[in-house]
Amino acid sequence: SQQGEEDPQALSIQEGENATMNCSYKTSINNLQWYRQNSGRGLVHLILIRSNEREKHSGRLRVTLDTSKKSSSLLITASRAADTASYFCATDPDTGRRALTFGSGTRLQVQP
């Protein structure tokens, strides 16, 4: 079963615009990770945020985490056509186990 749910399911924007994707989850976590997947291929790790962190940046990516609301957001600034992909959040539970639980993903289309 999927723990996380991404919102929106699909997003279409123009190049240069910002894209925001949200993720909600149900149980306590050790960390939350965001991954990108191009056309049904392997997942590329984007960023990891620990449960005691509230915000993290990596290049054009900004991730926030609100553990009280069990939610996270991924912001991609100044989007490019190459950012077109599916984006998944994955939660790593606080049980000490390293089994990721993925959401259903947001399909981002960046129009040139």
The site for other proteins (CB under 8 A) is made up of 1-2, 4, 30-31, 33, 35, 40-45, 48, 88, 90, 92, 97-105
Q: How far is CA 35 from the centre of its chain?
A: 6
- Shorter beta-carbon distance to other proteins: residue 45 or 80: 45
Q: What is the nearest approach in angstroms of other proteins to the Cβ of residue 91?
A: 11
| Residue (of 3, 55, 48) closest to 30 by Cα position | 48
- Shorter beta-carbon distance to other proteins: residue 14 or 95: 95
Q: What is the nearest approach in angstroms of other proteins to the Cβ of residue 69?
A: 21
- Shorter beta-carbon distance to other proteins: residue 7 or 15: 7
DSSP 45-85: EEEEEETT-SEEEETTEEEEEETTTTEEEEEE-S--GGG-E
